[in-house]
Amino acid sequence: MYDLYFDRTPTGHGDVYAFLSSHQPESLLAFDLYKDPTDQLDIVTVGVCAPSDAVAQVKPLLRSAFDQASCQILYEEGNILQRVQQMIDPRGYPKSFGNGAFRQQLLFNE
């Protein structure tokens, strides 16, 4: 994801990559790699869905990753976060940016 974002994603582009678990379909990790033309901090949105029995393990890992980030913008936790739901909802894609110059896709991976 790092190489894709920094080396192969031009400004004004970037898709959402969602990784699903074949063993736990309720588990998901998603990255919104859209590079906004005005973003000077290289902000990436990360969304995680985890089953209730894994929350105790996942929560401290996510918080630690955020705390170690060089630029901390926003960290949210909740049972259902609207921002994450919108990011992984296939009905919201393709999403247009830059007056339709770029159409963001949601790409699922297993």
Can you give the C-alpha Rg of the chain in angstroms? 14
- Each residue's pLDDT tens digit in the chain (110 positions)? 999 999 999 999 999 999 998 888 889 999 999 999 999 999 999 999 999 999 999 999 999 999 999 999 999 999 889 999 999 999 999 999 988 999 999 999 98
H helix or E strand, kind and range, residue 96: strand 95-97
Written as six digits, the tokens of 106 are 């949601």
pLDDT at 21: 87
Q: Rounded to whole angstroms, how far apart are CA atoms 21 and 72?
A: 28
pTM for the full model? 0.92
| Structural domain for 46, as ranges | 2-109
Look at the chain and report how many structural domains it folds into.
Answer: 1
pLDDT at 69: 93
